[in-house]
Amino acid sequence: MQSHKIDYQIKGHDVQLVEIELDPQETVIAEAGAMIYMDDGINFTARMGDGSEPNEGLFGKLLKGASRVITGESLFLTHFTNSSYGKKHVAFSAPYPGTIVPFNLPDFGGSIIVQRETFLCAAMGTKVSIHLNKKIGAGLFGGEGFILQKLQGDGLAFGHAGGTVIERELKGDSLFVDTGCIVGFTTGIDFSISQAGGMRSMLFGGEGIFLAHLKGNGKIWLQSMPIRKLIQAIAPAGRNAGKEQAGGLLRDILDSSR
C-alpha cells in the first residue's frame, strides 16, 4: 500500500510535539494516547492493525496485535482521518521529555529498525512490525532486549528519543554505545553486544557490564537521556522526599503527644 503524503511541523525544544497536516481523506496512524490536539473534522478510531494491508484477515490482525503487546506497546493503533473539506491538523507528543525524530523511509531503503517504544506516529501505509535480533547475546544482555520494531514504507514515520538526538553515519567502521541509548538504525547496521572492558571496568566503571556494538554501513540515531536513565536520576530524589515527608510526619506526631 502506498503511504499517504503528509506534511508536518515539529514544535518545541525540550518537550517536542509533531503537528501533522492532513488533506481530505488522508490518514495518520499513532500510538494510543499520543494525540495532543486535533482540528474539528478529523475522525479517529482504534484498530488492531496499522492499515498497511487492507485485505488482511482477522487472524493476521490478531497476530500483529499480539506482537505489539510483546514489544510493550498498546494492542491498538489509533487512525486519524481528515473526513472534512480543506486541510486539518492533528498533533502528537511522547509521554516524557525528548526529541521527535522524522524518518523519511525512502531515504533509507524503505525500512529502519527502532527500539521498542520509539515509534510515535506515521503516514497511513507504513507497516509497523516486530523485529527479533538474531544474536542471542543482544537479546539476553542488550538492556532493551532483542525485541525491536521495524518500520517499512515509502512515506514519513516519526519516533521519539529522550534528551538530545545524535546522528552518526557508519562507513564500514564501528561504534560502542550504551545499550539504552540506541534509538534506531538502518538495515545495513549489525547490532551485537560486547563486554565493557575488563572485569574491573565491568564492575566499577559505571558504564554497565555490556555495551552495544554497532558496525557496518548505514545510519544510527542515538539518544542522550533514555527513559531508564531518567528514572534512575529521579528515583533517589523521590526516595529522599519520601523520607523527609515521613520524618516530618513523625515529628508532628511526637509534638502532638507532648
Q: Which residues contact 171 (CB under 8 A, 6 or more apart)?
A: 217
CA angle 103, 107, 109 (to 5 degrees): 105
pLDDT, residue 29, reads 96
- Give tens-digit pLDDT for 29-84: 999 889 999 999 999 999 877 777 655 555 455 555 555 555 555 668 899 999 99
Strand, helix or coil for residue 18: strand
Q: If 0-12 CB within 10 Å is exposed, 13-18 middle and 19+ buried, where does residue 33 land?
A: exposed
The yes-or-no verdict on residue 176 having pLDDT over 50 is yes
- Give tens-digit pLDDT for 110-159: 999 998 889 999 999 999 888 776 554 444 444 454 578 899 999 999 99
Cα separations (Å) of 29 from 43, 77, 99, 148, 229? 12, 6, 19, 19, 29
The yes-or-no verdict on residue 218 having pLDDT over 90 is yes
Domains and CATH numbers, the chain: 7-225 (3.60.160.10)
Query: Average pLDDT of the chain?
Result: 79
pTM, full prediction: 0.79
Residue range 226-236: average pLDDT? 67
- DSSP assignment string, 57-113: -HHHHHHHHHHHHHTT--S-EEEEEE-SSS-EEEEE--SSSEEEEEEEGGGGTTEEE
- Which has more pLDDT, 116 or 219? 219
- DSSP assignment string, 152-201: ESSSEEEEEEES-EEEEEEEEEEEEE-GGGEEEEETTEEEEEEE-SSHHH
Give the separation between CA 162 and CA 188, rounded to whole angstroms: 24
pLDDT, residue 180, reads 84
The yes-or-no verdict on residue 243 having pLDDT over 80 is no
- Are the CB atoms for 25 and 34 separated by under 8 Å? no
